[in-house]
Amino acid sequence: MLAALFVVFVALIYVGTKRVLFTSAAERSAGAAHQISGQIATLKDSPFGPVSLRTALSDQSFLDEFAGSGLFVEAFNEYGKPIGKSNNLATSDLPTSGYEAWSPPFPTPGIEWGIATVKDARMLVSRQTFPSGRTPEATIYIGQSLVGMDGILHNFRNLLLTGLLIAFLFIILASISLARAALGPIGHITKAAREISGEQLGKRLNWKGRSDELGALGRTFDEMLSRLEHAFERERRFIADASHELKTPLTVINANSQMLTRWGARDEKVLREALVTIEAESATMARVINAMLTLAKTDNPSALTMEAVDVGDVVRDVGTALQASAQSKGLTLNVIAELGAYVHGERGLLRQLVINLVENAIKFTEAGSVTLALRPAADGVVLTVQDSGPGISGDSLPHIFNRFYRADPARSRTVEGTGLGLAVVENIVRVHGGRIEVTSQPGEGTTFTVRLPSDASLPPAQPAA
């Protein structure tokens, strides 16, 4: 870009200089033409009697008055034959045809211009015709040699090209120097990136002394590595926990399959108990796998099919479906929801969110009630699930959304679950642009509050008075 600007700048200088020199040459020729016209007019009004035009133009001394160094004058009659010429032309004649038309940057009425080549040398030629009545009586040609000007332009062009070449070399050297200074740190980043693997995410650039853009890039690179390290660690823990959760039911299924092989055909009790156990463990595995698939689905929001969903309808549907589960434990399931509360989301995931929260409340509540409520808000909807269960300790609250986390491991062995329910809930809330909060006191129950933004394409739900 800089080189192109230099080229344009040099070209403009050259064109401007050429224009100035041509204008100067044209002004000299035009001045001579005006002097000749004035002198001819004077001769016609001479007190000693008028002098004819041809007589004046055939006088070499008359024409020499207007000629000069590099400036030539020659007159022709109406038939194109020479009448007279300045002494500096000697035996040569000015060209009367075959020249390239040209116009000066100033008005010259009655004068025609052109550029001719005479013996490999350029000449600026002007032509002025003097009429006699309706027919031309004589034509005066004034030739301005451009040899000197072309020599000046040639030297000036060489000077500009030399300067341009030097400027290009300077730009190239400066660019190489700047590129090395700029790409050196980037090469360091590239080398560090090549040395990093899934087992060596602890490496950092530690560019704390740079305050420029590269310093910011280095700090961003370190921050990215920190996020990757934490993400890899979470995935490792998740894989280890998932393997453990799946290993237990697989081990039980395998043991019961062996029992069936050995005694199933002979002992009906063994057959029945083994089949019941296999079915229960298979269901546990299915729940774990379904929860993991839901987590994977919510980890890729771009693959979700979003639409306008009436959350009130979803809440009523889930409340109806889980009434039997609550009644089997002697609990009261209260459902408070009005239709017409829309959000932009995926209905299946929103239903899973409500199911997980309500099932979790029923699972850990031994007596009392569970309340599922939905109310519209100015910017969306608010879903609350409140139970009268044992509550959650303050130490466990920050971790309840972690995958496979169990607040009470001893009690969790007697309570059916995957350890992924609340992790799934948090992911579903996140991909819908909402937020989830939990308040709990041991012995006083737990309340989960989910806030989801409304569907912008529909009228917002009106808050209840």
Domain assignment of residue 213, given as a range: 197-299
- Domain edge (last residue) among 274, 299, 324: 299
User: Rounded mean pLDDT of 157-179?
Assistant: 87
Asked if residue 389 belongs to a domain, the reply is yes
Domain count, the chain: 3
Q: What is the residue-averaged pLDDT of the chain?
A: 81
Among the ranges given (65-69, 179-183, 206-210), the one the predictor scored with the smallest mean pLDDT = 206-210
Q: Which class for 280: exposed (0-12), middle (13-18), buried (19 or more C-beta within 10 A)?
A: middle
Which carries the bigger pLDDT value, residue 145 or residue 404? 145
342/444 same-domain check: yes
Q: What pLDDT sits at residue 356? A: 86
Q: Report if residue 19 sits inside a domain.
A: yes
pLDDT at 140 over 90: yes
Query: Residue 458 has what pLDDT?
Result: 46
| Predicted pLDDT of residue 460 | 47
- Same domain, yes or no, for 216 and 318? no
Within a domain: residue 355? yes
What is the model's pLDDT at position 87? 92
**Residue of 301 and 55 predicted with greater confidence:** 55
pLDDT at 449 over 90: yes
Only one residue has tokens 């009659």, namely 77
Give yes or no: residues 274 and 317 share one domain: no
Q: Are residues 333 and 291 in the same domain?
A: no
The pLDDT confidence band at residue 247, using thresholds 50, 70 and 90, is low
90 and 220 fall within a common domain: no
More confident residue, 119 or 207: 119
- Domain-embedded: residue 396: yes
Task: Evaluate whether residue 76 is within a structural domain.
Answer: yes
Give residue 46's pLDDT.
Answer: 66
Same-domain check for residues 117 and 21: yes
Above 90 in pLDDT, residue 463? Answer: no
Look at 249-253, 296-300, 390-394 and tell me which has the smallest mean pLDDT. 296-300
Same domain, residue pair 266 and 409: no
**What CATH number is attached to the domain comprising 290?**
1.10.287.130
Position 73 confidence tier, pLDDT thresholds 50, 70, 90: very high
Where does the pLDDT of residue 139 fall: very low under 50, low under 70, confident under 90, or very high at 90 and above? very high
The answer to the question of residue 172 being in a domain is: no
| Residue 241 confidence (pLDDT) | 63
Range 387-411 average pLDDT: 74
- Answer yes or no: is pLDDT of 408 > 70: no
Could you read off the pLDDT of 256-292 as tens digits, one per residue? 788 778 777 777 777 777 787 787 777 767 766 776 6
Q: Note the pLDDT tens digit of each residue in 113-128.
A: 999 988 888 999 999 9
Band the pLDDT of 199: cuts 50, 70, 90.
Answer: low
465 pLDDT more than 60: no
Domain co-membership, 14 together with 141: yes
Examine the domain organization and report whether 132 and 23 are in the same domain.
yes
Greater confidence, 222 or 103?
Answer: 103
Task: Based on the fold, state whether residues 241 and 120 are members of the same structural domain.
Answer: no
More confident call, 219 vs 159: 159
Percent of the chain with pLDDT over 90: 14
Least confident of 168-172, 404-408, 410-414: 410-414
What is the distance between the alpha carbons of residues 434 and 428, in angstroms, rounded to a whole number? 9
End residue of a domain, out of 299, 330, 361: 299
Global confidence as pTM: 0.47
Please report the pLDDT score of residue 124 as a whole number. Answer: 92
Contact by Cβ (8 Å): 142, 125: yes
Per residue in 84-116, pLDDT (tens digit) is 999 998 888 888 888 888 889 888 888 999 999
**Secondary structure of the chain as H, E, C letters:** CHHHHHHHHHHHHHHHHHHHHHHHHHHHHHHHHHHHHHHHHHHHCCCCCCCCHHHHHHCHHHHHCCCECCEEEEEEECCCCEEEECHHHCCCCCCCCCCEECCCCCCCCCEEEEEEEECCEEEEEEEEEEEECCEEEEEEEEEEECHHHHHHHHHHHHHHHHHHHHHHHHHHHHHHHHHHHHHHHHHHHHHHHHHCCCCCCCCCCCCCCCCCHHHHHHHHHHHHHHHHHHHHHHHHHHHHHHHHHHHHHHHHHHHHHHHHHHHHCCCHHHHHHHHHHHHHHHHHHHHHHHHHHHHHHHCCHHHCCCEEEEHHHHHHHHHHHHHHHHHHCCCEEEEECCCCCEEEECHHHHHHHHHHHHHHHHHHCCCCEEEEEEEEECCEEEEEEEECCCCCCCCCHHHCCCCCCCCCHHHHCCCCCCCCHHHHHHHHHHHCCCEEEEEEECCCEEEEEEEEEECCCCCCCCCCC
Q: Please say which residue of 299, 317, 344 terminates a domain.
A: 299
| pLDDT at position 441 | 83
Residue 314 and residue 295 share a domain: no
